[in-house]
Structure 1
Amino acid sequence: MISRIIWRVFSLLYGTLVLALFTAFAVLDGSIFRRPTEKEKKELAIAQQKFWDLSQSPLGLKHKFFSLEDGRKLHYVEKLGTNSSKNLTVFIHGFPDSWILWQGLLTSSRLSQNSVLVAVDLPGYGGSDGLPNYGANAVLETMTAFILGMREEYIASQVEEAGKVFVVSHDWGSIIGYRLASEAPQLADRFIISCAVYPQQTYATIKAHFASSSKMLHTWTQRPFSVRLLKSALKNITPVLKQASKSGYVFAFNLPSPLSNFCGAMGNMWLLRIMHRVATGNAEPSGKPLLLGPTEAAEAMTASIGPGPAQFGASDTKEDYPESVKRRAPTGGWPEKIRIYREGLLLGQWEKSLETIVRLSELDRGSPRSRRSSSGAGLFEDGPPGALKARATVVYGKKDPAFEPKLTLEDISDYLTKGSQVVVLGEAGHWLPIEKDSAEVLEEVVGWALEGEEAPLKARLEGFGTVKVTIDK
């Protein structure tokens, strides 16, 4: 009880400090009272029309909706395969994005030759309905239902030569991907997971660092002249402190609602615009992210805030965006988006519904295609709690500003099943799908999976400079 109170007080104070720093930065660059110009409004309207008009086919893709059992709808876009391949690839984005994050891979002729490509908007993002809550049960049940629905729609279920299923994810989509690969491995033949911590592994690693440092410090109190022991204790806890500094925004997002909402709204969505600048991967010699051009900035913003008023009820199709999408449009959906940080998705227990248990069991004992979709790992395979039971390819940018590599990669091999890999991009940041060189690597990884994994992944990535396959089980 006392430790919980201490943690809550620390979280409140640290989150408030981070919000104060964000506000100060917005004041210093003149954005705190900034309002969008008429030109910016026009560019945003054009971008929203381009990507969110349901009567159009943005980038050659088709808008569609998937209805859940409770009537809520998830928006997704579809790119049908160009040959007889029956593979299915499902793309899941993270914060603060939408399906637009994947536009480069969705328009890849190489990938569409070998698979139907589907990119979904997470609940509460883009054009998808929100959920009553964003805990593990609600989100994982929803995403499992979606993937099962896509399997039924695009993958023949009773033929020997049916295709395989792949899940490609980023950021919070990858946290979902990790959990599904651990707790519902039947859903896909391979999970390609980019730019996220694995909750179970990272939590266990942090606890181990704290325990080790605590023991060292306790010993040091008995031998206070042992400078070496003190240095070792501090060195051991340093990765945890570095991660805490990189995760400061998470504490700000968990402040009481008026403060956390202000964090996203201030300065004409200043924080979102900073994220978009960082996501481009372009920088001045000083390392400061470059300003985006008007069109580029508008398209980045519409990828985060979703459709606007002109897209509601204006389509010639029978479908329209759900009412919850219309309600959150004035705020860009910020209060809804940060709920995945606030409501227990990261480590909360997933108590599967009876329907989910039955449908996953059917995949285990079903047709030859369904059996082949399983990872081949036993459901009770040895490993630490939370170990993945489906084959996974984990992709990280070594310069990702959100994660401390030592924590995110330490002992991760113990959590991976046979046939899994870890790929580290030496010069990459966080938004791999839209960083030019990184996107090419990610496309190569997905292409390798779709083309049957005929050669070792390491051999396929040899021509990509600082890219290394650090684990290949």
Structure 2
Amino acid sequence: MGNFITKAITRLVTFAYGLYSVCLYGYLATKRGTFFKKRTDRQNLELQLARDRLWNLSKDYAGLSHYFLTLPSGFKFHFVSNGAHGSPSALTSEKPLVIFIHGFPDSWAIWRYIATAPSLQSSANVVAIDLPGYGGTEGLEKYTATAVLEKLTELIITLRTQYGVDQGTETNKKRVIIVAHDWGCVLSMRLAAEAPSLAHRFILSNGPLMSLAGSNVRRIVASASKIFNTALAAPLSSRTPLLQALRTLGPVFRQLKMSGYVFAMQLPPTLVTYFLTGGNYSFMAGIHKGSHGRGEFTPSDEGTSMASSMGPSLAESKTQTAGGESYPSTIKYTHNFANVLHMAGYYRDGASVARWRKSVETVANLHSIAGGNELRRSNSGAGLLDEGTPGALQANSTVFWGQKDIALNPQICLDGMADYLVADSQVVMLTESGHFTPIEPESRVAMVKAVEWAIHGEKGDIGAVIQECYPSAKVIARR
């Protein structure tokens, strides 16, 4: 009975705060004059042109071509790459494989400045994917941890084979680097913790390690509770301890304030759809403008950002790749935001925190990649039976963090991070950047440098490498 009451109260609070958040975002958009402001002909034209640039399958984008990969399970992924998967050049080349994984509310296109860098395209096989339910990739019925991570792992394992990383009994013939942001970072952190053999280096940006964030929240709440109980024991002099307890809870309150949109995602589907697309896409438009930081946000930038979130339109759905492939027929291309509830599904269905129940095929494939040596990986100093802190990353990882992130509180997400890293891992603070590190001018240059460093054998200290192009960057944790 007690458990039922607790769940009911939790759902009520979540609904109330989610509804409040929707109203608050609507009020702020109205105050800024964007909620009732209709899109101009110029905006619609820029959006149309951008969707053609990003999603027309017959066109390349700055050296990146469109491809589809149907997995053994039958699921169809869309991605862009500078080299055809399974081709003789991809299989025999010694170039490392770099896989880019985006977050909300984006697609492969958030990597348009990084994946098109000539230094990366000349020295690596670059692959930028659309996550399930985003862009041109099929959707899932539910976005549970098992559903998402199984498909993502199956894709990475297949890409490793298609780009010549693993062939027959030979594995790890060339380096694999996974680069991820936001939700892509959250999922990739789970891979680094639970399937570390997938890549030699994870480069992760502005997404929480949920085990660490949960631990920090529990620690802060426990500390505040002790102070509060002390105040109750001496009620006549309780004012100071009560204020101290509230100050202790400050990081939790700040994160709750930042996370209002997450609660809004838990509302009934109709309200979620309205929240994400209503008011002339005011919520999305606000995110896109903020993603460019202090840089200029031109009409072309606005169109490209919106096209990245919306995915292909009906016009692009009729195009084909050079190999005759087309977008999945399951996507409703007549809607501007056909995938919007799929995007919300990651928040609604527990993809970040629920248990990942690996299939027999996944376990066997990971065992094969690791060469049967999962008990202790030589390149990470950790393994399946030596996990250290629960939820810790088990693969070499470089975590970038934009200090001015408006969605994630560093005290919740970074305090104690060193305990969750393995040898040869670090956290790099980008002091002038915000949440959207792949887009903001300063941070995207730093990320290109980090990928170059990983591609070329990780020579030199990563902190010194990044400071060459981002002088104020600093390594705040390392193992």
TM interval, shorter chain, is: over 0.9
Deviation at 1:327, TM superposition (A): 4.6
Residues 446-455 or 80-89, more deviating: 80-89
Provide the rounded CA distance (Å) in 2 between the counterparts of 1:125 and 1:374.
33
Q: Which residue of 1 aligns with 2:32?
A: 29
Residues 260-269 or 166-175, more deviating: 260-269
Provide the rounded CA distance (Å) in 2 between the counterparts of 1:35 and 1:396.
35
Q: Which residue of 1 aligns with 2:438?
A: 433
Provide the rounded CA distance (Å) in 1 between the counterparts of 2:120 and 2:146.
32
Equivalent position to 1:335, from 336, 341, 365: 341
Equivalent position to 1:85, from 73, 77, 94: 94
Provide the rounded CA distance (Å) in 1 between the counterparts of 2:166 and 2:22.
51
Amino acid of the structure 1 residue aligned with 2:362: T
Q: Which residue of 1 aligns with 2:371?
A: 365
Q: CA RMSD in A?
A: 2.1
Provide the rounded CA distance (Å) in 2 between the counterparts of 1:161 and 1:15.
46
Q: Deviations over 1:191-239 (max 9, x none)?
A: 1110111111101110111111111101110123154433332222110
Q: Deviations over 1:436-456 (max 9, x none)?
A: 011111111111111111111
Matched, 1:236 2:245: no
Gap change, CA 1:374 and 1:145, over 3 Å in 2: farther
Residue identity (%): 37
Matched, 1:422 2:427: yes
Q: Deviations over 1:76-113 (max 9, x none)?
A: 00124999533111000000001111111111122223
Amino acid of the structure 2 residue aligned with 1:446: V
8 Å CA contact retained: 1:126, 1:304: yes
Gap change, CA 1:372 and 1:160, over 3 Å in 2: farther
Residues 371-380 or 223-232, more deviating: 371-380
Q: Which residue of 1 aligns with 2:86?
A: none
Deviation at 1:37, TM superposition (A): 3.0
Matched, 1:41 2:44: yes
Q: Which residue of 2 aligns with 1:286?
A: none
8 Å CA contact retained: 1:87, 1:450: yes
Matched, 1:247 2:259: yes
Amino acid of the structure 1 residue aligned with 2:355: Q
Deviation at 1:459, TM superposition (A): 2.1
Provide the rounded CA distance (Å) in 1 between the counterparts of 2:165 and 2:16.
54
Gap change, CA 1:462 and 1:47, over 3 Å in 2: closer
SS where residue 477 of structure 2 aligns? strand
Matched, 1:293 2:305: no
Amino acid of the structure 1 residue aligned with 2:422: T
Provide the rounded CA distance (Å) in 2 between the counterparts of 1:362 and 1:84.
22
Equivalent position to 1:271, from 283, 286, 301: 283
Q: Which residue of 2 aligns with 1:220?
A: 231
SS where residue 113 of structure 2 aligns? helix
Q: Which residue of 2 aligns with 1:471?
A: 477
Deviation at 1:316, TM superposition (A): 6.2
Provide the rounded CA distance (Å) in 1 between the counterparts of 2:46 and 2:440.
22
Gap change, CA 1:189 and 1:235, over 3 Å in 2: same
Q: Which residue of 2 aligns with 1:170?
A: 181
Gap change, CA 1:316 and 1:397, over 3 Å in 2: closer
Provide the rounded CA distance (Å) in 1 between the counterparts of 2:64 and 2:37.
35
Residue ranges of structure 1 left out of the alignment (5+ in a row): 284-289
- After superposing on structure 2, the runs of 4+ consecutive aligned residues of structure 1 that deviate more than 4 Å are 81-84, 158-161, 371-374
Provide the rounded CA distance (Å) in 2 between the counterparts of 1:160 and 1:167.
17
Equivalent position to 1:355, from 353, 361, 371: 361
Equivalent position to 2:64, from 57, 61, 74: 61
Q: Deviations over 1:2-47 (max 9, x none)?
A: 3322221111111111111111123233333343333322221111
Provide the rounded CA distance (Å) in 1 between the counterparts of 2:211 and 2:392.
8
Normalised by the length of structure 1, the TM-score is 0.93
8 Å CA contact retained: 1:398, 1:429: yes
Q: Which residue of 2 aligns with 1:144?
A: 153
Aligned pairs for 1:8-27 within 5 A: 8-27=11-30
Equivalent position to 2:384, from 379, 388, 407: 379
8 Å CA contact retained: 1:186, 1:374: no
Residues 76-85 or 387-396, more deviating: 76-85
Matched, 1:122 2:131: yes
Provide the rounded CA distance (Å) in 1 between the counterparts of 2:106 and 2:454.
24
Q: Which residue of 2 aligns with 1:287?
A: none
Matched, 1:202 2:205: no
8 Å CA contact retained: 2:273, 2:340: yes
Amino acid of the structure 2 residue aligned with 1:6: I
Residues 249-258 or 143-152, more deviating: 249-258
Provide the rounded CA distance (Å) in 1 between the counterparts of 2:105 and 2:11.
25
SS where residue 58 of structure 2 aligns? coil
8 Å CA contact retained: 2:387, 2:394: no
Provide the rounded CA distance (Å) in 2 between the counterparts of 1:123 and 1:376.
32
Q: Deviations over 1:257-313 (max 9, x none)?
A: 111111012122111111110001127xxxxxx7x3322211111011011111112
